[in-house]
Amino acid sequence: EVQLLESGGGLVQPGGSLRLSCAASGFTFSNYAMNWVRQAPGKGLEWVSAITGSGGHTYYAISVRGRFTISRDNSKNTLYLQINSLRAEDTAVYYCAPLGYCAGDTCLDFHSWGQGTLVTVSS
Amino acid sequence: QSVLTQPPSASGTPGQRVTISCFGSTSNIGSANVYWYQQLPGTAPKFLIYRNNQRPSGVPDRFSGSKSGTSASLAISGLRSEDEADYYCASWDDGLSGWVFGGGTKLTVL
């Protein structure tokens, strides 16, 4: 059974930092590109960052470029997001997900994301 | 302003067929797969459709996806009260080198 478990969120002051983690299980983690997606309170889904299965390529939304760093440890089946210089507008629930759902011709077979981790930026 | 355009709301009565549209461009839907997500009130999103028209196991065949050119649609037939949720489309955008989402469509079952 595929499971995604996000952690590391919390209340942080503007300008502060956090490191989010996403523990994955139930699939060959290293084969799949992974993403962070966030949802501000009462708002829609916003893609934040992506990383290829090997970790060799990373991609960022313009709104977080230079402040957020995505990484992964395939030996631990874990995805990370280092978030620095936090702003009030970064307040959101952060989810990890294999948005592409497939690695080549091999596709996952699950439909539930993790529950996400809440980041609140406030003084 | 989302890169992919969805109607903010849709509605139908139980048993009806409802479609939700998603409009993009040649840099996203026109050249990449489309994905649909369902978010029930107060819960995390779920995969509903992947690669334009494929359903994960456990997703009822009442849900179907299609794509044509730079637009995509999600159809829900035999509408049920438990389908009341927010629905999002998404695709990879080559120009932005990132995923783009629609703004979401709130489906109400009357």
- Model confidence over A9-19: pLDDT tens digits? 999 999 999 99
What pLDDT is recorded for position A109? 86
Say if the Cβ atoms of B88 and A107 lie within 8 Å: no
**B61-82 per-residue burial string, b: 16 or more CB within 10 A, e: under 16:** eebbbebeebbbbbebeebeee
> At residue A110, does pLDDT exceed 90?
no
CB of A52 within 8 Å of a chain B CB? The answer is no
Residues of A within 8 A of B100 (CB-CB) are 47
Spatial CB neighbours of A29, under 8 Å, sequence gap ≥ 6 = A72, A74, A77
Say what percent of chain A tops pLDDT 90. 89
CB B32 within 8 A of CB B99: no
Integer Cα distance of A98 and B65 in angstroms: 19
Of the listed ranges A20-24, A88-92, A112-116, the one predicted with least confidence: A112-116
Which of B50, B92, B101 has the CB atom closest to A46's CB atom? B101
Q: DSSP E strands: which ranges in B1-110?
A: 9-12, 18-23, 34-39, 46-49, 63-68, 71-76, 85-93, 98-101, 105-109
Give the pLDDT band (50/70/90) at residue A112.
confident
pLDDT per residue as tens digits for the range A50-94: 999 999 999 999 999 999 999 999 999 999 999 999 999 999 999
Mutate to test the interface with A, among B50, B100, B107 (most CBs of A within 10 A): B50
Say if the Cβ atoms of A113 and B48 lie within 8 Å: no
Average model confidence (pLDDT) across chain B: 97
pLDDT per residue as tens digits for the range B15-46: 999 999 999 999 999 999 999 999 999 999 99
> At residue B60, does pLDDT exceed 90?
yes
C-beta atoms surrounding B8 within 10 Å: 9
